[in-house]
Each structure stands twice: as C-alpha cells, then as structure tokens.
C-alpha cells in the first residue's frame, strides 16, 4: 500500500545556513543506496526528504537500505493523497486507517502539519475535523491525546501525506559532511566498528590494511576487503590501501628486542597511515583501540603509538568493553567476517611476553637500530601500495 517514504532527520536540522549541504548529502546518500534496487525518485521538500518508489519495489529491502543511511532519524512509510479537497482527504485518511488497523478498538490522535499555508483549514482545525470524521466512520475508535496507540500524522503540502509508523533510522549525520579520515582496518572485530562509528558522525572514510605476505595469506587480505565492503554499505565508496609490510616487520624483528616488537610495529603502521592520510586529504586517523584490551593498548602503549603522528587519532572505542563492541559488530553485520580464523600480521611476530608499559625513551632507542634501512623501506611500502576501490 505504500509507494513512498518520508524521511526525517534530526541533527542536520540544526545546521543553520549550511543546512542545504547536509540535506543534499543526505539526499545523495539515499539515492546512492537505493540506486542498485531500482528507479526511485528522491527529493528534498521543506525540511524533509521524500522517496518515491517504483512499481513492484521490495518494501523490506528498501527500508533496510534506508536504515544504513546516516543522518536519518526515522523512516515513515506514507500514503500520498493527490487531491487535498476535504472530502477526498477525509476519505483517503479513513481508508488508510481502515486498511492499516483492521481492529478499531484502539486509541488514536490526529496530528496535522500544514506546509501549504493557503489550505482553507488551519492545523488545529484539520486535527479536530479529521478526528470527528474518523470517530463517526469508526465508532469503536477512542481519542487519547497523551498515549494514543495510533498516532496519525496528516501533512498537507501540495499533496497530502498520511503516516502513522516511524521506523528508526541509524541517526548520525550524512557521510561526507564532516571531512574524511583514514581508518586502520585490520581483520579484527574492533576496527570495522571504529570506522562505522566515526563515519556515523558524517566523516567519509578511506582505509589502510597492513599486509605481510607470505606470513599473512590472500584469504586474510580478502577478509579485510570484505570488511571494507561491509563498512561501505554505510559510507558509500571507499578506497582501501593495502601496504606490504613484510620487509618492515622482518627488519624490526631482526633489529629490535622482541618484547617491543608489537609496539614498534604499531608505530610504523601509524607513521605510514599518516602519510597516506595526508595524500588523501584526510583530517585524522581512526583505530579500533580500547584501553587495556591487549598489551599494545595499555595507556603506556597508546602513548607510545600516539607520539609518532601529529594528525589527530580518533579512537571511538577507547572506553568500550569488548562485549559492547561485539554487540555493535553484530548489529552492523561485520562480526561474522571478523571472526573468520585467518592470521593477522600482528599475531605472527608476536612475542610471548610483550612489554605492557613501554618506556618512550627505550622504544625510541630501539628504533635507532633501524636507522640504516627503515626510511627506504617505508618509502618502498608507500610506493608499492595497492589501491582497491570498494564500491
């Protein structure tokens, strides 16, 4: 029965003169997710976005796609009444109630919005008159203005929109309205969630994965590509940089104390990620780190990995428990991919007893042992980076 959706947004309503930028971004993202599903008409109209669906569209599939668009606070399936003449309008609304609510033993309230100020009735008059009409047509209905079971909204524009269902959207802000960041994306559970959370604030994403063939397999890389695809369902197009990290890792393994390996390796990941981020005009890095989760994420370790870059590093999971991260991963559908058992470049060279309180001076000293070859290796890693376009 629904051929259209009315899209409500929350925070982007607050953006003053920049509002149109947010609305356009929202409209474009909606068009982006619906495009593969068919020919939808997506347009802005006075503080709302409307989606008109093609014939034979799939309702569930459409709602699911819209639920992946950041910036949407709710999705309302609407019935459109073309004729706003009062008799046509009341009949249309009555028919809507009749079809949607076969059991009329419910309480209701009519809410009216009148965008068309030339309409002969004011909003309160529409509410009152419509309520009276419905009570007459369906005598079992009861009015409850405080906690109604049926909250019926009638918006009078050039046409009339009737709806009574608010399907929650993901919230947040449209991707692309808040700059761009570089996500350090591993094959784990955390980093895809971190990327999702930052993207939800309107940030578009690029991602970098440190690959160590042959110690990490093609399957491990494919897993990261799949995770990037999972995130791009929310962010839209995304570039994934695959850095060959093998030589750097072996070199560190060769020259530095093994209990400092993970920390030093993480410092080089951050350095390389920052370089790529600069080239991509990103304004920050994003990681899935969380205080105390593993040895390389104690406060000491984080201080040590943090000091090598000057770009802000966003760690949206910093205070999250693993369980809560897992819940989000399941919700956004990355969990099943993340738990596939392929090796990770960090686990392969991992020491039995990694330092948990790395001392900055000690780490810097150890890194001096890399002076001879490391700059060339970093340059080579940047030069040979593989770029995968995730769509």
Closest CA to 277 of 314, 222, 249: 314
Enumerate residues 49-108 that contact ligand ATP by CB under 6 A: none
Using alpha carbons, list the distances in angstroms from residue 338 to 5, 73, 168, 186.
Answer: 34, 28, 26, 9
| Site residue total, ligand ATP (CB under 6 A) | 20
Which CB atom, from 188 or from 195, has the smaller least distance to Mg ion? 188
- Contact with ligand ATP (CB under 6 A) among 184, 227, 282, 390: 184
Q: Which residues of 329-348 are buried (b: 16+ CB within 10 A; e: fewer)?
A: beebebbebbeeeeebbbee
Among Mg ion, ligand ATP, none, partner that 287 touches (CB below 5 to 8 angstroms by kind):
ligand ATP
Which part of the chain contacts ligand ATP (CB under 6 A), choosing from 103-111, 157-165, 184-192, 381-389? 184-192
Which CB atom, from 150 or from 194, has the smaller least distance to ligand ATP? 194
Task: Yes or no: say if 193 and 334 are a contact pair by the CB < 8 Å rule.
Answer: yes
Query: What's the rounded Cα separation, in Å, for the pair 97 and 347?
Result: 59
Ordered strands of the 285-286 beta sheet: 313-314, 285-286, 180-184, 204-211, 238-244, 386-390
Among ligand ATP, Mg ion, none, partner that 288 touches (CB below 5 to 8 angstroms by kind):
ligand ATP
Among Mg ion, ligand ATP, none, partner that 345 touches (CB below 5 to 8 angstroms by kind):
ligand ATP
Binding of ligand ATP by 345 (CB under 6 A): yes
Which CB atom, from 77 or from 288, has the smaller least distance to ligand ATP? 288
**Site for Mg ion, rule CB under 5 A:** 186, 188
Output 130-138 pairs: Cβ under 8 A, ≥24 positions apart: 130/90, 130/93, 130/154, 133/90, 133/93, 133/94, 134/93, 134/94, 134/97, 134/108, 134/110, 137/94, 138/94, 138/97, 138/98, 138/104
Binding mask 196-225 for ligand ATP (x = CB under 6 A): ------------xxx---------------
Fill in the DSSP letter of residue 39.
-
Query: What's the rounded Cα separation, in Å, for the pair 20 and 24?
Result: 6
Binding of ligand ATP by 163 (CB under 6 A): no
Binding mask 281-300 for ligand ATP (x = CB under 6 A): ------xxx---xx-xx---
Closest CA to 302 of 225, 360, 351, 254: 360
Binding of ligand ATP by 230 (CB under 6 A): no
Among ligand ATP, Mg ion, none, partner that 260 touches (CB below 5 to 8 angstroms by kind):
none
- Contact with ligand ATP (CB under 6 A) among 53, 79, 272, 346: 346
Binding positions for ligand ATP, rule: CB under 6 A: 184-186, 188-191, 208-210, 269, 287-289, 293-294, 296-297, 345-346
């Amino acid at each position: 029965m629904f051929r259209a959706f009315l899209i409500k947004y929350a925070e982007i309503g607050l953006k003053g003169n920049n509002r149109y930028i947010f609305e356009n971004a929202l409209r474009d993202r909606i068009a982006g997710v619906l495009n593969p599903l068919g020919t939808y008409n997506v347009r802005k109209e006075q503080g709302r976005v409307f989606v008109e669906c093609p014939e034979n569209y799939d309702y569930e599939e459409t709602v699911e796609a819209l639920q992946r668009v950041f910036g949407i606070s709710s999705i309302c399936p609407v019935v459109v009444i073309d004729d706003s003449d009062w008799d046509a309008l009341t009949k249309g609304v009555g028919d809507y109630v009749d079809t949607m609510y076969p059991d009329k033993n419910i309480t209701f309230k009519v809410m009216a919005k009148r965008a068309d100020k030339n309409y002969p009735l004011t909003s309160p008059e529409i509410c009152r008159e419509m309520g009276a009409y419905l009570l007459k047509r369906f005598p079992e209905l009861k009015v409850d203005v405080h906690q109604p079971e049926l909250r019926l909204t009638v918006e009078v524009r050039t046409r009339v929109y009737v709806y009574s269902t608010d399907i929650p959207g993901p919230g947040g802000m449209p991707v692309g309205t808040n700059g761009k960041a570089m996500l350090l994306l591993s094959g784990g559970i955390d980093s895809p969630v971190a990327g999702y959370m930052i993207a939800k604030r309107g940030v578009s994403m690029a991602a970098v994965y440190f690959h160590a063939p042959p110690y990490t397999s093609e399957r491990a890389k494919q897993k990261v590509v799949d995770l990037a695809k999972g995130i791009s369902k929310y962010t839209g197009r995304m570039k994934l940089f695959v850095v060959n990290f093998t030589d750097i890792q072996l070199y560190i393994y060769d020259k530095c104390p093994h209990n400092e390996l993970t920390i030093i390796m993480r410092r080089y990941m951050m350095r390389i990620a920052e370089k790529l981020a600069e080239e991509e005009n990103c304004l920050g890095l994003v990681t899935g780190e969380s205080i105390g989760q593993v040895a390389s994420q104690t406060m000491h370790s984080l201080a040590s990995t943090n000091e090598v870059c000057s770009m802000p590093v966003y760690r949206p999971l910093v205070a999250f428990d693993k369980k809560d991260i897992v819940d989000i991963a399941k919700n956004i559908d990355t969990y099943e991919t993340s738990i596939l058992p392929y090796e990770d470049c960090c686990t392969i060279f991992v020491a039995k007893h990694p330092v948990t309180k790395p001392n900055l001076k000690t780490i810097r000293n150890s890194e001096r042992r890399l002076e001879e070859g490391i700059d060339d290796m970093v340059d080579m890693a940047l030069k040979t980076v593989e770029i995968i376009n995730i769509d």
